[in-house]
């Protein structure tokens, strides 16, 4: 039973690591950093990732600019 829990935790950790790696790749953020943090924290990391992504857009475009997304 313990082996099942350990393998389940490892699987979920890997899934979230890959998910945040892909999201960071698409957003142009640090891939290794977000993959490692995603594998440690899982879905708790999503608000922090969204905030970092928004800060990057504001830095490139500007805070008072209108952004149209497709």
Q: What are the tens digits of pLDDT across the range 32-65?
A: 999 999 999 999 999 999 999 989 888 888 777 7
Residue 15 lies inside a defined structural domain of this protein: yes
Residue 44 lies inside a defined structural domain of this protein: yes
- 7-20, pLDDT tens digit by residue? 999 999 999 999 99
Contact between 35 and 24 (Cβ < 8 Å): yes
Give the structural domain span for 15: 2-61
Residue 28 lies inside a defined structural domain of this protein: yes
Residue 67 lies inside a defined structural domain of this protein: no
Residue for token pair 């790749």: 25
Number of domains in the chain: 1
Instruction: Tell me the pTM.
Output: 0.82
The number of helices, as runs of H, and strands, as runs of E, in the chain is 3, 0
- The answer to whether residue 66 scores a pLDDT higher than 80 is no
């Amino acid at each position: 039973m313990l082996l099942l829990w350990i393998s389940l935790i490892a699987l979920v950790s890997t899934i979230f690591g890959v998910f945040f790696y892909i999201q960071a790749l698409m957003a142009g953020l640090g891939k290794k950093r977000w993959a490692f943090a995603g594998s440690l924290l899982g879905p708790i990391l999503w608000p922090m990732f969204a905030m970092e992504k928004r800060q990057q857009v504001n830095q490139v475009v500007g805070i008072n600019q209108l952004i149209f997304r497709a």
